[in-house]
Structure 1
Amino acid sequence: MKETYFMETPIGWLKIVSEADTIIALDYADEADVVEGEDGRNDLEGASGVIRQCVRELEEYFAGSRTTFEVPVSFGHKGTEFQQKVWRRLREIPYGETLSYKALAADCGGPNHSRAVANANGRNPISIIVPCHRVIASDGTLGGYTGGVGKKRRLLEREGLDIRPK
């Protein structure tokens, strides 16, 4: 059974979705989604263990005391084989470090796959935990981010990085 939880964070509301004791989605939400009562909750009373673990780990991440996530995640049937390969590689980028789209493309299929890697990054269903925010342009600028470049910058700053603006 799917369970949805809304969490307020320093970068805005997050929507966490679990199924079968794993996190299957973590995305940005509008406050209107929470206020208008989209299926989900924003208190932990009665939440599953995996939701509570995810919330605790995210709180620790935002407090600066967590650099890796242990909560189980699953991509299930989401994404193509290539996209899932990219998402798995994203999990290997260490906290406080970045990787260029070009380098990620070389790791996942070849240097000519930068656009495909960027598209896979944009379709990442589990933001933050699968750290697509750690992928930047080769020139050191941020590039894009589904949650907005401002959120990407704030996440990287939380990890101790100073990325120059475009």
Structure 2
Amino acid sequence: MDSHGRDEQRLVWAVTGTDIGPLMLAATGEGLVNVVFHASDAVRLRALERLAVRLGREPVEDPDAPLLAEAVRQVRSYLAGERRAFDLPLDWSLISGFNRQVLRALASGVPYGTVVGYGALAGRVGQPGGAQAVGAAMGANPLPVVVPCHRVVESGGGIGGFGGGLETKRKLLALEGVLPEPLF
């Protein structure tokens, strides 16, 4: 196998510090495959073990891998308020079925600075009444921030849940101008 073939098989990761805490990003030769919030050592180790099991290869720390370095750059630029959309190849292999369908609809149809209700997103994928299933899909999102599950809110005005914690969701929505900046 040539070196290019090995690059396609690699699973690389890096941790980057951000205003919402350390984020771990992981990529395959196909694209960004995982973003993990609050990437302390313990959280990072669990995430890397899950990735190894799910993808069948050992993750390697390589912040200089081109696709990963670009993903880190774009995420940091977004969090600095300098980028409104991501231009990255995504590897959807950690999610399938309805969850993948919902997350793809979210990624392509809910732009920066807008929100959608859980029920409305369910309707967009042909599952009216599937608000709870959409909530489960958001909780299973392997690519938060880049696939913007923070933009999915309750129809009654509540912000709903968030795998990265409600404070993080509020910060992301404030960054996009959807909510006022938190006072403290």
Q: TM-score, normalised by structure 2?
A: 0.79
Q: Distance in 2 between matches of 1:3 and 1:110?
A: 36
Larger Rg: 2
Q: Which runs of 5+ in 1 are unaligned?
A: none
Identity score, percent: 33
Aligned-residue Cα RMSD (Å) equals 2.2
Q: Is the 8 A contact 2:118 2:131 kept in 1?
A: yes
Q: TM-score, normalised by structure 1?
A: 0.87
Q: Is the 8 A contact 2:24 2:39 kept in 1?
A: no
Distance 1:82 1:4, change over 3 A: same
Q: Is the 8 A contact 2:154 2:160 kept in 1?
A: yes
Deviation (angstroms), 1:40:
5.7
State the partner residue of 2:69: 52
* 1:90 counterpart (85, 100, 106): 106
What is the number of residues matched between the two proteins? 159
Q: Distance in 2 between matches of 1:126 and 1:108?
A: 19
State the partner residue of 2:13: 4
* Structure with greater proportional helix content: 2
* 2:40 counterpart (13, 22, 31): 31
Give SS of 2:67's match: helix
Distance 1:35 1:50, change over 3 A: closer
* Structure with greater proportional strand content: 1
* 2:160 counterpart (123, 139, 143): 143
1:74 aligns with 2:91: yes
